[in-house]
Structure 1
């Protein structure tokens, strides 16, 4: 084989060049695994406490909105599969301020999610080894994910593939086992009586009414946070025009199977009132029905999910920082890559930030997951809102004839786009409507003001020079 015909992933990387080392299989499982993490396994407990069994409705509605966001992102990613993804699209279609705020808000979002994953990881491992300090496990996880992300993007892709495969297999097995218990009418030793009537037998299907369902959105959207990482993988996909559409089009059935299906089954196995939020709702339910062995297996799975999330966070923040640096919105050193196409300085920054998260996890009080999830929900929903607004701006240019139509157009434009925008704005408003999540809204708004001021100040300095 001549040097000119070598595959892109084997070519020497330029100082700022990412290497296209992710196969279609990698991209699909990155998308698959991004929606199966701490938000589903651990955050679902808080959502169930807020809405009861009616939380299933919230997952369906939020999943539909997320699908619209991802189709909007997919159209832009297939058109321009470059570094920075939705941060660069916001800059292109909304201006420099939009790009700066979107990119840095995503970085903050992922760092806050990392703190949530750190919190969850200590809870999961504490289920087995309560005497071991949580920081020991977290320090080891940070070191391992940093090492994996410094080797080669293909190593990250392969790691996420197998971690996602474990999560997917476990959830499918859990759903099948739960359905078998329900269909066969098995009697379990835990004292609870499995049955579909558990969905309405304890104060009704919606014990807190419509308001409970609405408030649960502030935590439910957290379950889908990070799914936009799929857009960042386009810059390193070998065939983004094929991989991105195939991955995005799997989102509807993923939502139904892994969120609605899995949570629906566990709510049928035992009363939703047995969920207290002190550990994963999945683990608690299996303990409640007298299947501690299954609970232990599932605990191992949720540990895998948390580690997978930390691995994906390290990748996504590093790639976003690389894109911001290329646009001049972050230090230039963060754009540099080594001979393997890895943005080493950006990955190192993430490791340092995760270490800060480890310190915070040691210092902050326990049972802060719902508040942390709400803070992450603000940043997550804001980023999704900016993706939608960028897409609407792009579609207006296409309608005016300034751009050619894309190869993977989002459905239902412009109605679907504006409906999704209204949903995101509604979730942000709901953060302020609940006393529990109101601090998250204020924190998010202050962060937004700081980012806007920082960008304006930076732009003013560049202009004066």
Structure 2
């Protein structure tokens, strides 16, 4: 393959990007992780999801502003390099790749838990190994095949959740009862109140709630392979509010109305547990199929996103040049292989510590996710401050509420990181996160501020090593 053809292809249509983002947002955080947030805050978690979703919407609008103005592979890692400096870009890119590995570990773990619904005697690590191999191979196809596959996987989740909400409302209207307790909307306030654990439980739930929204920033990663970024990116971002209200708030409100919140124990997906406790076995079986599809979709998106961010970093000289190697279909082979190798760690962890692995992994993922979101906000803030009034007025997709919305969102992200220190279960995330950022800083210094090569045929001149951090000539994925 010649260097001329070694570029990412723009094979993602608007519907692909919308559903890739949907696949990232509707996955383990909703179908499995929501149990932990419900246990922490009770019904008040609905308010936490609304507030957290509003903050994430501001993050995505800020990212969308930059992605429409400058669509590129690597997205926010490149924007951090351009507007905050090379160290910030280096740390942001690698932290996002780290986030995708950790989130993917949570997703493959959840897949093993779901399979235990049917095969309780089969060790979880066997299912984890199987899904890593299957989804890894799926990511070796062209991006158009990936987008089409993710479209149908995500569509299946959307249809199933809407059907579950409809079935749940029907059960509420008919007043059916099961083994779990009384059925009714009053469950949202009659079991210790709407805030059963007080303000403390409500605030602490954000450490778990924000994990659920991790992966939505993949919208920016897809910009380098979007056929028409000026249309597809805004369309995908604008879906976020509806998604949050429908798939998180309404769905979980129905779940907690069908069964008192304290009965949701986290041994499996609360969606499956509720219908099983109501004696609707067929519905529980169908929903278990759905949550398995959701896990596959999320893992699929995680591997895609990590591969593209590492490819973009390699183009900027912030990762080994081998990560720029593409297949004939325009797929970054090395990065996909690295993700598959990293996910094999999930097999080992599920063998060694099957009971506690999910909470540990999800808290670490929350740190990485929120840190990346904060860097996106800071990058957009720095970018906008550099613009002249004419440039700002010419933005085709400006972020709203400038600059106060961004300032509030940044403060919110800092607060979520601080919250991780207040629980013994999540404190490890701060320790691992601080260690990770220290490691990246050390690697950056020892690496000697790596050069940013120009992608193109062999023999072309590379950028000078002394190029300013804010230089405009960062390579962009080409069609």
What is the match of residue 230 of structure 2?
241
1:265 to 220, 233, 254: 254
Name the CA distance, whole Å, in 1 between partners of 2:404 and 2:178.
Answer: 52
Name the CA distance, whole Å, in 1 between partners of 2:163 and 2:8.
Answer: 37
2:83 to 93, 96, 101: 93
Deviations 1:66-105 (A, max 9, x none): 0000000000000111111000010010010010000000
Name the CA distance, whole Å, in 2 between partners of 1:53 and 1:286.
Answer: 19
Matches within 5 A, 1:220-231: 220-231=209-220
2:73 to 60, 65, 83: 83
1:332 to 301, 310, 321: 321
1:16, distance to aligned residue in structure 2 (A): 3.6
Structure 2: state its 5+ residue gaps: 452-464, 467-479
SS in 1 for 2:314: helix
Q: Is the deviation greater in 424-433 or in 289-298?
A: 289-298
Deviations 1:425-452 (A, max 9, x none): 0000000122221111111111111111
Name the CA distance, whole Å, in 2 between partners of 1:374 and 1:335.
Answer: 31
SS in 1 for 2:4: coil
Contact (CA 8 Å) 1:14, 1:339: kept in 2 or not?
no
SS in 2 for 1:408: coil
1:111, distance to aligned residue in structure 2 (A): 0.7
Deviations 1:2-31 (A, max 9, x none): xxxxxxxxxx98354100011111011112
Name the CA distance, whole Å, in 2 between partners of 1:30 and 1:147.
Answer: 18
SS in 2 for 1:150: coil
| Paired residue total | 453
1:305 aligns with 2:312: no
Relative to structure 1, the CA distance from residue 149 to residue 126 in structure 2 (aligned partners, 3 Å threshold; closer, same or farther) is: same
Matches within 5 A, 1:78-227: 78-185=68-175, 187-190=176-179, 192-227=181-216
Matches within 5 A, 1:366-377: 366-377=355-366
Deviations 1:102-154 (A, max 9, x none): 00000111111111112111110011101222233222222221222111001
Relative to structure 1, the CA distance from residue 13 to residue 262 in structure 2 (aligned partners, 3 Å threshold; closer, same or farther) is: farther
Name the CA distance, whole Å, in 2 between partners of 1:28 and 1:40.
Answer: 18
Name the CA distance, whole Å, in 2 between partners of 1:453 and 1:239.
Answer: 39
2:37 to 47, 62, 65: 47
What is the match of residue 386 of structure 1?
375
1:25 to 2, 5, 15: 15
What is the match of residue 364 of structure 1?
353
1:445 to 434, 437, 451: 434
Contact (CA 8 Å) 1:190, 1:291: kept in 2 or not?
no
Matches within 5 A, 1:276-315: 276-315=265-304
RMSD: 1.8
Contact (CA 8 Å) 1:13, 1:337: kept in 2 or not?
no
Deviations 1:194-241 (A, max 9, x none): 101101111111111111011000010010001111111111111111
1:183, distance to aligned residue in structure 2 (A): 2.2
Relative to structure 1, the CA distance from residue 14 to residue 339 in structure 2 (aligned partners, 3 Å threshold; closer, same or farther) is: farther
What is the match of residue 7 of structure 1?
none
What is the match of residue 3 of structure 1?
none
Contact (CA 8 Å) 1:32, 1:164: kept in 2 or not?
yes
1:182, distance to aligned residue in structure 2 (A): 1.4
What is the match of residue 9 of structure 1?
none
Name the CA distance, whole Å, in 2 between partners of 1:276 and 1:116.
Answer: 18
Deviations 1:32-66 (A, max 9, x none): 22110000000000000000111001000000000
What is the match of residue 252 of structure 1?
241
Q: Is the deviation greater in 381-390 or in 174-183?
A: 174-183
Name the CA distance, whole Å, in 2 between partners of 1:349 and 1:281.
Answer: 33
Name the CA distance, whole Å, in 2 between partners of 1:401 and 1:38.
Answer: 43
Matches within 5 A, 1:396-435: 396-399=385-388, 405-435=394-424
SS in 2 for 1:411: coil
1:365, distance to aligned residue in structure 2 (A): 4.2
Contact (CA 8 Å) 2:128, 2:346: kept in 1 or not?
no
